Structure 1
Amino acid sequence: MSDTSLTIDNILAPELSLCRVPASSKKRVLESIAERIHEHDGALSESQIFNNLIARERLGSTGIGQGIAIPHCRLEGLEHVVGVLMTLEESIEFDAIDNQPVDLVFALVVPKEATSEHLELLSQLAEKFNDRTFCDRLRQCDDANTLYQRMTAASE
């Protein structure tokens, strides 16, 4: 499989789609992301992922507005891009650009070297999340499987 055609369905696994996650803060959301990636792939360091996500947030919030955040970071020793999709039980403060609380999160952890793929994925995500109807359909999911299906359904 070549890395040039990275799409959301290549990087998101059903077990990395989490529905109605209870989270009280931005820090807790980032901890949950790191925990889940580590559970999914034990070779990846939970603390390293968490620290890299936090470091990225310090550069500027990844809250892109309309209740959506796309936290992302690079990770040394990672072979492939990993995505985590979460809807939150309750909206939380995320320092988003529009100051709105966040309840829809898509985290992206990419290999240290991946730059163009990384940007390509971010733009794919931003495009999908720009569609308010699509976001509402994600927010309405009651289980992880439906969430995964809706996120990865071919977008025409």
Structure 2
Amino acid sequence: MDLSSILKPEAVKVIANVTSKKRLFQDLGEVACAGYGLSANDAVDALQERESLGPTGVGHGVALPHARLDGIDTVVGAFLKIERPLDFESVDRQPVDLVFALFAPVDSGVEHLKALALVSRTMRNAEVCEKLRANSDPATLHAILTEQIPARAA
């Protein structure tokens, strides 16, 4: 599995300003609808339901909201770069400007976890995040996210 199999170029957007987490989830729902034909309302509801269990802001300006949805048969992603960072109740209390959301089938099990681990590894890479923050073209952001990053020895 690699990010190019999860993330379509059409599901990468740059947003100037988001005023709330709820608005961010609405934007993610719209991207999921446009990129994958998902119900925007179902996507928003599922993201909010998951977020109510605990914030998905993982620190260093990154959030990884994720949810399971009826009616899809594979894990898909949406990426938003926010030009004015948003308070996201992250673990490090830092505002978020890079958001990679995942939507998985309700019964996806291990596939969802593998995708989440892949996205998490990618977004923990300081070099990747630096490149993402230095660019505002969606096509360039997609290319940065989907380029193969060699695994580093532990």
Q: What TM-score results when the alignment is normalised by the length of structure 2?
A: 0.93
Contact 2:69 2:106 in 1 (8 A): yes
SS in 2 for 1:59: coil
Root mean square deviation of aligned Cα: 1.1
Deviation at 1:33, TM superposition (A): 0.5
Question: Take 2:27 and 2:109, find their aligned partners in 1: how far apart are those partners?
Answer: 25
Residue-by-residue CA offset, 1:54-77 (whole Å, 9 max, x unaligned): 000000000000100000000011
Contact 2:17 2:83 in 1 (8 A): yes
Task: Tell me what 2:128 maps to.
Answer: 134
Deviation at 1:21, TM superposition (A): 4.2
Task: Tell me what 1:22 maps to.
Answer: 17
Contact 1:19 1:141 in 2 (8 A): no
Task: Tell me what 1:82 maps to.
Answer: 76
Question: Take 2:17 and 2:32, find their aligned partners in 1: how far apart are those partners?
Answer: 17
SS in 2 for 1:89: strand
Q: Percent identity?
A: 36
Is residue 9 of structure 2 the alignment partner of residue 11 of structure 1? no
Segments of 5+ residues of structure 2 without an aligned counterpart are: none
Question: Take 1:109 and 1:71, find their aligned partners in 2: how far apart are those partners?
Answer: 9
Task: Tell me what 2:32 maps to.
Answer: 37
Letter in 1 for 2:70: E
SS in 2 for 1:95: coil
Where do 1:64-143 residues align within 5 Å? 64-143=58-137
In the comparison of the two structures, how many residue pairs are matched? 150
Residue-by-residue CA offset, 1:91-120 (whole Å, 9 max, x unaligned): 001011111110000000001111111111
Question: Take 1:152 and 1:91, find their aligned partners in 2: how far apart are those partners?
Answer: 23
- CA change 1:140–1:154 in 2 (3 A) is same
Task: Tell me what 2:55 maps to.
Answer: 61
Deviation at 1:20, TM superposition (A): 3.9
Question: Take 1:128 and 1:40, find their aligned partners in 2: how far apart are those partners?
Answer: 21
Contact 1:21 1:86 in 2 (8 A): no
Q: What TM-score results when the alignment is normalised by the length of structure 1?
A: 0.92
Segments of 5+ residues of structure 1 without an aligned counterpart are: 1-5
Which consecutive segments of 4 or more residues in structure 1 shift more than 3 A?
none
Is residue 140 of structure 2 the alignment partner of residue 151 of structure 1? no
